[in-house]
Amino acid sequence: MAKVCFVCGKKTVAGKTIARRGLAKKYGGVGQRITGISKRRFLPNLQTVKTVVNGKNKRVRVCTKCLKAGKIVKAA
């Protein structure tokens, strides 16, 4: 099952982490240097919820933003 929101389609996003060393100039150092860049993923906060879809109960993955906004109807 993919990490995608059933309602809004929010999914994973790629990014980078930047490792730095050295003291910043504003704190009296000579400045920071980048020592490494590695890839990372930003994952959406998905929750598995029982909802009513087309009149039937179904278990779907929904992001918390859609849950808080009330964009889905929970199954009884």
Phi, psi of 50 (to 5 degrees): -85, 120
Domains of the chain: 13-69 (2.20.150.30)
Q: Of 76 and 52, which is predicted with more confidence? A: 52
pTM of the model: 0.74
In terms of Cβ atoms closer than 10 Å to its own Cβ (0-12, 13-18, 19+), residue 1 is exposed
Give me the pLDDT at residue 1, please. 62
Which tens digit of pLDDT belongs to each residue from 29-60? 999 999 999 999 999 999 999 999 999 999 99
